[in-house]
Amino acid sequence: MGKLDGRIAIVTGTSRGVGVGIAHALLAEGATVVGCSRGELAALPGTDDNPDWAGRSAQWVCDQGDVEAIDAFVQRVVDTYGRIDILVNNAGGTVPTPHVEDVPELVQKIQGAPRAADDFERTALFHAFAVQMNLISPMWFAIRVARQMKTQEGTGSIVNISSGAGHPAGAPTLVSYGAAKSGLNHMTRSLAQEWGPQIRVNCVALGPTITDNFRSFVLPADDPTGREYFDLVPMKRGGEPAEVGATVVFLCGGDADFINGTTIECDGGMLPGVLYDAGLKTITDLL
């Protein structure tokens, strides 16, 4: 018996990273999980050698920057599985940039925003992309899924994945991303008020969380375990995607039925700002 037996869940951004940890935690508790990303994959990563998980999961293409793609994806989930009980808005992220007013081409290229030769236009597009991916697209997904949940019997749960960069203390080097994640925390509270009691909406704000990309692009080569890097984090380490997954299961699994509109910080007790300089080092070394 799992805490989420029979539940139908969407998790965005499950081709790699934190989204995979969330999807696995939901599958382990009995949910059926439909993940998405922009590229085509044969299956949700990590389900190939587990026939039970493979039978309760799917990985479909959906670019969350395209509102029509979100509409079609959510409808496909409903047509296939009959309902949606859980949405985890995980897809997002960005790249730190040394100067908010002048984003270098390399930074824009790594982030994946539309390109522009003009410095000002490139900078503007970089920031717009960060806000689109970390605030507007999760809002589009939440609204589309809520429209479905409101037609169903029972209650639904939406969890937004935010970041410590959204802390009110500010986020130099991550200005547009921090503003978008702060907006996500605020949106969580507003949607919880609009949609209760049928739908609960909560948020998990992550500190540094160890993924393949994090190992390759953030942890210094001479400190691969992050022993020095995480010295200012009270827990002296980064989080694991499985720990984010466990927090999401808590929020969706019946133990948190009176928790609504809140943002849980899953960051080892990290103070705002302590890693901004360290987080920028990989980028400045590349520039």
Ligand X SMILES: NC(=O)c1ccc[n+]([C@@H]2O[C@H](COP(=O)([O-])OP(=O)(O)OC[C@H]3O[C@@H](n4cnc5c(N)ncnc54)[C@H](OP(=O)(O)O)[C@@H]3O)[C@@H](O)[C@H]2O)c1
Contact positions vs ligand X (CB under 6 A): 12-19, 36-39, 62-65, 90-93, 161, 163, 206, 208-209, 211, 213-214
Identity of the residue, 25 or 36, whose beta carbon is nearer to ligand X in the bound complex: 36
Identity of the residue, 29 or 267, whose beta carbon is nearer to ligand X in the bound complex: 267
Tokens read off for 164: 């410590």
3-class SS at 266?
strand
Taking CB atoms, the residue at the shortest distance from ligand X is 17
State the nearest-atom distance from the C-beta of 189 to ligand X, in Å.
18
Identity of the residue, 93 or 183, whose beta carbon is nearer to ligand X in the bound complex: 93
The phi, psi pair for 246, rounded to 5°, reads -65, -35
Q: From CA 202, how far away is CA 208, in angstroms rounded?
A: 20
State the nearest-atom distance from the C-beta of 6 to ligand X, in Å.
26
State the nearest-atom distance from the C-beta of 154 to ligand X, in Å.
27
Identity of the residue, 156 or 166, whose beta carbon is nearer to ligand X in the bound complex: 166
State the nearest-atom distance from the C-beta of 267 to ligand X, in Å.
8
